[in-house]
Amino acid sequence: MRRTGIALIALAAILAAGCQTHMHAVGRGAQGADVEQARQWYCIWGLVPINELDTKAMAGAADYDIETEITFIDWLISIPGFFVTVNSRTVMVTK
């Protein structure tokens, strides 16, 4: 029983530490605080994109920041399909 508890805590720690964030600055980076958010969808372990996001169109400017991350909500979406059927990634563009 004790080993199971330790294993579950270790698994939770690994999953919590697995949140991925990538940041990119385009041009001089964001000049304000206006944020537009969308979700990128994938299937088959993230190999096949379901939708296409155009971050340049989302920004509507020459200078902006792009931040993509796997949030807790993205994990919740992915878990029922065991990360095989549908995965998502949150994309935020700051103008």
Strands 35-43 and 21-26: unpaired
- 18-73 pLDDT per residue, tens: 567 889 999 999 998 899 999 999 888 778 999 999 999 999 889 999 999 988 78
Helix (H, G, I), strand (E, B) or coil at 8: helix
User: What's the pTM value of the predicted model, to 2 decimals?
Assistant: 0.72
Neighbours of 64 (CB within 10 A): 24
